[in-house]
Amino acid sequence: MADIVIVGAGHGGAQCAIALRQAGFEGTVTIVGRECEPPYERPPLSKEYFAREKTFDRLYIRPPQFWEEKGVCLMLGIEVTAIDPASKQLTLSDGSSFGYGKLVWATGGDPRKLPVPGGSLSGVHGVRTREDCDTLMGEIDGGVKNICVIGGGYIGLEAAAVLTKMGCKVTLLEALPRVLARVAGPELSAFYEKEHRDHGVDLRTGATVEALEGEGRVTGVRLGDGSVIVSVTDTGIGIAPEDQEAIFEEFRQVGTTYAQKREGTGLGLTLTKRFVEMHGGRIWVESELTKGSTFTFTLPIKPWPTN
């Protein structure tokens, strides 16, 4: 049991615990996180960490000992699988229960799975966690040289740039007519397309992926025009928020209505921060949404406090 339990040991969850202590909160605080690492920054994963210019210890949001010094308990490598708001109990993936006084839900998002046949073959990697990056880097160390990056958003472009710099032969596929189409104007898209091509990336726009080919392990990417690219595949097609409908259903049942419904494809959705605090029947939601993403909330949502 902790006075405040924060679910999600990402930047949002970590910053929430830091802010509580900075504000003088003296109660018990526990962060439950699915990953095994103390909170770390994700942006370097597709930049300096991927390029091996920074070691992982330089990505920590705070040094590991900070949490103990501040009396913040980290429960890592554990997932919250259910919430019982009536008894204020969480069910954890190891089967145990954990009580809370107040609950902060800071679970961020997960990479979208490629919705095509072969999307879960081995050799298909996301770029979201340290584990994702370490696995991909291990493949490169093992001799993989041909890599297909699917998705011409920021993460896909960053990964393509670093992989090229590392000597890989990179093909980047973007389904839309230009890269960064949802976040930048045509001039900026054209600039990045040229930069990448000038540095040797085989960058193809309007390229739809029909299927990933291979027996057990990916060997190629089949495109809508029938052509096949031989590769290991790295996906950067955006994230889907951790909806975890089953968990939120519990809230609905006790009359605290919360629903979040993502409409459209969600492609290009950048949910850079999600912080939900539930207290006394109020819900605050903070998020940054890119154009083209639609969120529908069914609830009286109070405006974010201005002071």
Ligand X SMILES: Cc1cc2nc3c(=O)[nH]c(=O)nc-3n(C[C@H](O)[C@H](O)[C@H](O)COP(=O)(O)OP(=O)(O)OC[C@H]3O[C@@H](n4cnc5c(N)ncnc54)[C@H](O)[C@@H]3O)c2cc1C
Which residues of this protein are in contact with ligand X, per CB under 6 A?
Answer: 7-13, 32-35, 42-43, 45-46, 79-80, 106-109, 127-128, 155, 242, 272-274
Where does residue 298 rank: exposed (0-12), middle (13-18), buried (19+ CB within 10 A)?
exposed
**Closest to ligand X by CB, 84 or 213:** 84
**Closest to ligand X by CB, 220 or 237:** 237
Helix (H, G, I), strand (E, B) or coil at 190: helix
CB of 78 to ligand X, least distance (A): 7
Q: Are strands 260-263 and 294-297 parallel, antiparallel or unpaired?
A: antiparallel
CA distance 112 to 267: 8
Q: What amino acid is encoded at 93 in this protein? A: S
CB of 158 to ligand X, least distance (A): 7
Where does residue 126 rank: exposed (0-12), middle (13-18), buried (19+ CB within 10 A)?
buried
CB of 248 to ligand X, least distance (A): 11
CA distance 91 to 56: 31
Q: What amino acid is encoded at 215 in this protein? A: E
**Closest to ligand X by CB, 22 or 208:** 22
CB of 216 to ligand X, least distance (A): 27
Q: Residue 161 is encoded by which pair of tokens?
A: 């740039």
**Closest to ligand X by CB, 49 or 214:** 49
CB of 203 to ligand X, least distance (A): 19
**Closest to ligand X by CB, 34 or 123:** 34
